[in-house]
Amino acid sequence: MNKNNLARQIIFNPREKETLAKDLGCSLPMINRSFSYFKDTALARAIRNEAIRRGAISYVLVPEEVAWFENEGKIENYLTGDTIDKPRSK
């Protein structure tokens, strides 16, 4: 699957964003672009890594059909843990 199909976002306290921007010497718009994965430069990756190190939450949203996978003859959803029996071929 292409990672560009994923909706990714980093959630962080607004005050912590300001502190992060000050500590890393960059602007708040750059922090926001980095957190929304709009930017993918070395600086943006460093911003995301530091934010996660400081306790930010990273979300990845995937389409429901991508969340299902095959495991030992059953089809499982890795988000909810639901399972269904795999249809047997005739």
Among residues 86, 54, 55, which one has the least CA distance to residue 68? 86
Provide the domain count of the chain: 1
pLDDT at 2: 41
pLDDT at 79: 64
Residue 46 lies in a domain: yes
Residue 30 lies in a domain: yes
What is the domain extent for residue 17?
Answer: 6-61
- Residues 6 or more apart in contact with residue 63 via CB below 8 angstroms: 5
pLDDT at 89: 60
pLDDT tens series, the chain, 90 aa: 344 446 789 999 999 999 999 999 999 999 999 999 998 899 999 999 999 999 999 887 777 666 666 777 777 776 666 667 766 665
Residue 43 lies in a domain: yes
Please give the model's pTM, rounded to 2 decimal places.
0.65
